[in-house]
Structure 1
Amino acid sequence: MRMDRRQLLQLLALSGAGAATARGFSAPVRKRPPNIVVILSDDVGYGDVGCYGANDVKTPHIDELAKDGLRFTNAHCDAATCTPSRYALLTGSYAWRRDGIQVLPGDAKLLIHPDQPTIASILKKAGYRTGLVGKWHIGLGSGTIDWNTAIEPGPCEVGFDEAFFFAATADRVPTVYIHDHNVVGLDPTDPIKVSYRAKIGNEPTGKENPDLLKMKLSEGHDGTIVDGVSRIGFMTGGKSARWTDENMAATFTDKAVQFIETNRDQPFFLYFTPSDIHVPRMPNEQFANQNTCGIRCDVLNELDWSVGRIIDKLKSLHLEEDTIVIFSSDNGPVVNDGYDDGADHHTDSHPPAGPWRGGKYTITEGGTRIPFIVRWKGNVKPGVSDALISQLDLTASLSELAGTRVPQSAAGDSQNVLPALLGRSKIGRQSLVEEAQCLALIEGDWKLIDRAQRPGTTPQPKGRYIPDTILGDAPRETPPQSAIELYNLKADPHEMHNVADQHPEIVTRMKRKLADIRSRQPH
């Protein structure tokens, strides 16, 4: 049964006292809304962590979140690639509504207009201190970026009080950190220049100087070499500001922990977006070569360590019952994504998408069915939920949790599923749309893939390699693609048997609904 807003707020206000009383002592009524920590990992698949079935890699800290919280089995990101997925999570709007949202280069302009509400800006207006730590990849500036001066607009213009991040991905230039508006550690006598069109300067590249690489290439990624790894794109200058890949996890995690420590006495929203386990996979030496399932599992250990440090900081500050923690991933897994690191030799023992077919870049469930865990000690009863939810819903749901509302003109695709997130209801949303080269609609057990429905222009990035085969435990063949595909995910979770011809009435109804959703103007 769904609760109305008054009932829900009463429940939240009394939850701390109720949990304490159940343990035999009284506690004051909650005087402020809960802190919110969203941990968005990169390229982590449904089957990549222990609590979702991984056996060959240990992820004790993520598993602890699941043990103490609610683990969702039917949670989805918006898209099977990172930029549209992250845009949708922050704005509560399907990325495919905007033409041209694709995997961005490192010098792309900001996709979110400063006037467009985001989770961060809504929570900031509700009195939260808001912070971003980690990967951004939604663009910066309003045109050509000068990396040697203040870079804006960026995260601080769309709702974040503090931001420590890099512009795109670890395999793209520029390979530098940015604090709020400025490159960290930049020597003004060594200015940065970046190009995604042609080589600039005289620095070695992966294409011209493969002998200098400490990680071999498989496809693409043959631009400027930084820290022994060649990247997508070209850059010169900024040598004092360039990161060391093996220290990146510690750098970001230190900043995230510092944000929690600094803001412990006020409501805070931390959007922690570690680079792990995106390529190039360069784990710190304490995690390297530790797993029989290879380097992807090594960086999974590193990610789990980062999550553990967040949990430990909340524990040490006695904030566990005052903080809701959400762990998820921006899209499904990818194995060989431009670097020959041997990860593709281990998918038999460690299927990263778990039982689903495909992964990053694919419209099959492995592309958008992702791990999603909600933990709020004393307020969310531990368990497992099969409620259908989307990361889109965080905007409306977390706004409700904070005691505020989404502006009427914003986040039109986000639904308030807070009762499901808190385990008070088994029902989430009724349907959702997935994006990867085309659009798909999920409604109940049914999934319709309409390959004629294109989400603007979303070409696959150079350096991408993942066959549309099984990365889980199903047969390794791929069924032929059709213009219209219909699958019953309960009976056929691997999407192997297209039953569109057997159920024309369901196809007609779902095509009509998909067209209706696409035609809406939510803002």
Structure 2
Amino acid sequence: MRITPRAWALVAAIVLPGTTVASEIRPPNVVLIVADDLGYGDLGCYGAKKLRTPHLDQLAAKGTRFSSFYVSQPVCTASRASLLTGCYANRVSLFGALNHQSTVGLHPAERLLPELLREAGYATAIYGKWHLGDRPPFLPTRRGFDDFAGLPYSNDNGPLHPTMPGLPPLPFLRGERVIETNPDQGRFTRRFTDLAVEFIGANAHRPFILYLPHVMPHVPIFASPEWRHRSAAGVYGDVVEELDSGVGEVLAAVRRHGLEANTLVLFISDNGPFLSYGSHAGSAGPLREGKLTTWEGGVRVPGIAYWPGRVPAGRVCDEPVMTIDLLPTLVRLAGAKSPALPIDGKDVGPILLGEPNARSPHAAYFFYAGDELHAVRAGRWKLHLPHDYLTVNGPPGEGGKPANWGRAKPEAMSVSGLRGIASRHGYRVERTGQALYDLHADAGETRDVAAAHPDVVRELLAHAERARAELGDALTRRKGTGVRPCGDLKP
């Protein structure tokens, strides 16, 4: 018989916390930690040489490290929309990176992960960056979170933006109230870690989901005074190593309250590194390109899972998994209800828990940039469709500025779309034709093998057509039949 989280509350009143019966019945806690713009090559367990990340390396050693963990889009808002809805961002019509002028957010009809778990009896909290709408109806406290402290959007959406002067003060919210403007960004990791530790202690007696979407290492980057000048990798290293230390403190809190055996810890990044920022950005390791592109460096990110006795220890899993799969997987583990509206993610619990011969339940994964379908992955194969993409324009930047900063034509700064992004952030626009890559043999996407595998190309093109029919594709002027509106407060 399955006992739901609500039933656990009654059981907990009868069975003393910490007993065998209680630990077997209680549904799992979830600690979901998301770094911002952390690259695939930025952790020791993923090959970093200068960066010291002992806590995350140990998490991977005692749990499972995913070598093909994906986000649905290589940019903040779209990526987070997929994470919390279990849908491709295109289905819920939320793209790009929202700012202080945005009037949109997730539609009220969408059921988010924290809403589903809270209805099942979970305590819920978010400490860090939200980025799914800053107007009151879209804030975290209206979307299933009991508590929120942090930023409504990215930390560059304020006076410290590296390339766009004149932005308004950056707000720091507690609940729905602005409690500070232009907060000390060097204290973000410390503040969010302290709040996370406090939340774990306050809710040790009941199931909880802690969502910890850290602000760092998104530019502009800052470490606390205690962590400055400690890393051999410079300021970026200081920031990542402080982040790693914070993860260690959260794990210590879980252990201190006797929750380790019943807590699933997940660590990911929201997209790849912002490569144009050079010394203030991360590394995609062996992968091609980074943030804002659908090459592997933009959409393949670190993914670590830890749950003693449930998630296999010391395992490296190359089976593809995407953030859209987390909602249905966690909902099932928690005994919660699934969303009524169709979602794209599928339960990957068998992969997560290391069941023999577990394989991806997806025929293919799709990679969009905004409303453009750029690539399809099925098994070992990835097909890029003809599209424009961004690449760093010259040597990467230094001191918090992007590549080629100060040499772009002023009039180019007002260009909209992809070329406008390129002008502001030190990129140039290039184009790829249709190309097929064998990711098992060539994770860096350097050798187009389409001519040798025409049958594979045909198969992936058929998958692409199904995605266009359901989710749309601006490149082929297709409108998807399964697309739903976002919430929009525009007058």
Fold similarity call, TM over 0.5: yes
CA separation in 1, counterparts of 2:386 and 2:367?
12
Match of 2:139 among 131, 154, 163: 154
Partner of 1:322: 262
Match of 2:233 among 281, 293, 307: 293
Counterparts of 1:17-36 in structure 2, within 5 Å, are: 30-36=24-30
- Structure number with the higher strand fraction is 2
Label 1:422 to 1:458 Cα distance change in 2 as closer, same or farther (>3 A).
Answer: farther
Answering whether residue 249 of structure 2 is matched by residue 309 of structure 1, we say yes
Q: Which moved more, 1:427-436 or 1:295-304?
A: 427-436
- Structure number with the higher helix fraction is 2
Match of 2:336 among 404, 410, 434: 404
Match of 2:308 among 353, 377, 396: 377
Q: Which amino acid aligns with 1:441?
A: V
Partner of 1:178: 173
CA separation in 2, counterparts of 1:123 and 1:466?
41
Partner of 2:397: none
Partner of 1:144: none
Partner of 2:457: 507
Q: Which amino acid aligns with 1:482?
A: T
Instruction: Confirm or deny: 8 A CA contact 1:80 1:363 kept in the other structure.
Output: yes
Once the two structures are superposed, residues 284-320 of structure 1 have per-residue CA deviations (whole angstroms, 9 ceiling, x without a partner) of 1221122222221111111101111111111111111
Answering whether residue 23 of structure 2 is matched by residue 38 of structure 1, we say no
CA separation in 1, counterparts of 2:201 and 2:2?
32
Q: Which amino acid aligns with 1:491?
A: A
Match of 1:166 among 151, 154, 176: 151
User: What SS does the corresponding residue of 2:305 show, helix, strand or coil?
Assistant: strand
Partner of 2:440: 490
Instruction: Confirm or deny: 8 A CA contact 2:77 2:94 kept in the other structure.
Output: no
Match of 1:444 among 379, 384, 390: 379
CA separation in 2, counterparts of 1:419 and 1:130?
25
CA separation in 1, counterparts of 2:79 and 2:251?
25
Label 1:102 to 1:458 Cα distance change in 2 as closer, same or farther (>3 A).
Answer: farther
Answering whether residue 14 of structure 2 is matched by residue 82 of structure 1, we say no
Q: Give how far 1:70 is off.
A: 0.9
CA separation in 2, counterparts of 1:76 and 1:401?
21
Partner of 2:297: 366
Once the two structures are superposed, residues 351-402 of structure 1 have per-residue CA deviations (whole angstroms, 9 ceiling, x without a partner) of 7111111111122101111111110122222111111100110110000010
Answering whether residue 426 of structure 2 is matched by residue 465 of structure 1, we say yes
CA separation in 2, counterparts of 1:263 and 1:59?
28
RMSD, aligned α-carbons: 2.6
CA separation in 1, counterparts of 2:230 and 2:52?
11
Instruction: Confirm or deny: 8 A CA contact 2:151 2:172 kept in the other structure.
Output: yes
Answering whether residue 383 of structure 2 is matched by residue 433 of structure 1, we say no
Instruction: Confirm or deny: 8 A CA contact 1:107 1:140 kept in the other structure.
Output: no
Q: Give how far 1:27 is off.
A: 6.1
Residue segments in structure 2 that go unaligned for 5+ positions in a row: 9-18, 159-168, 390-415, 471-480, 485-491
Q: Which amino acid aligns with 2:177?
A: N
Q: Which amino acid aligns with 1:388?
A: P
Q: Which amino acid aligns with 1:311?
A: L
Instruction: Confirm or deny: 8 A CA contact 2:28 2:264 kept in the other structure.
Output: yes
Q: Which amino acid aligns with 2:318?
A: D
Residue segments in structure 1 that go unaligned for 5+ positions in a row: 1-5, 14-24, 142-150, 186-240, 345-350, 469-479
Once the two structures are superposed, residues 171-190 of structure 1 have per-residue CA deviations (whole angstroms, 9 ceiling, x without a partner) of 113412111211115xxxxx
Match of 1:68 among 47, 52, 62: 62
Paired residues, number: 417
CA separation in 1, counterparts of 2:434 and 2:276?
29
Once the two structures are superposed, residues 175-219 of structure 1 have per-residue CA deviations (whole angstroms, 9 ceiling, x without a partner) of 12111211115xxxxxxxxxxxxxxxxxxxxxxxxxxxxxxxxxx
Instruction: Confirm or deny: 8 A CA contact 1:152 1:181 kept in the other structure.
Output: no
What percentage of aligned pairs have identical amino acids?
33
Q: Give how far 1:255 is off.
A: 1.4
CA separation in 2, counterparts of 1:439 and 1:481?
11
Q: Give how far 1:466 is off.
A: 5.6
Instruction: Confirm or deny: 8 A CA contact 2:92 2:106 kept in the other structure.
Output: no
Instruction: Confirm or deny: 8 A CA contact 1:114 1:157 kept in the other structure.
Output: no
The TM-score with structure 1 as length reference comes to 0.74
Q: Which amino acid aligns with 1:319?
A: L
Counterparts of 1:105-116 in structure 2, within 5 Å, are: 105-116=99-110
Instruction: Confirm or deny: 8 A CA contact 2:219 2:280 kept in the other structure.
Output: no
Label 1:384 to 1:8 Cα distance change in 2 as closer, same or farther (>3 A).
Answer: farther
CA separation in 2, counterparts of 1:458 and 1:403?
43
Label 1:164 to 1:110 Cα distance change in 2 as closer, same or farther (>3 A).
Answer: farther
Counterparts of 1:80-159 in structure 2, within 5 Å, are: 80-99=74-93, 101-141=95-135, 151-159=136-144
User: What SS does the corresponding residue of 2:150 show, helix, strand or coil?
Assistant: strand
Q: Give how far 1:29 is off.
A: 5.7
Partner of 2:165: none
Q: Which runs of 4+ in 1 moved over 4 A?
A: 6-9, 25-29
Instruction: Confirm or deny: 8 A CA contact 1:112 1:158 kept in the other structure.
Output: no
Answering whether residue 361 of structure 2 is matched by residue 391 of structure 1, we say no
Q: Which amino acid aligns with 1:498?
A: D
User: What SS does the corresponding residue of 2:40 show, helix, strand or coil?
Assistant: coil
Answering whether residue 283 of structure 2 is matched by residue 352 of structure 1, we say yes
Q: Which amino acid aligns with 1:183?
A: V
CA separation in 2, counterparts of 1:74 and 1:417?
13
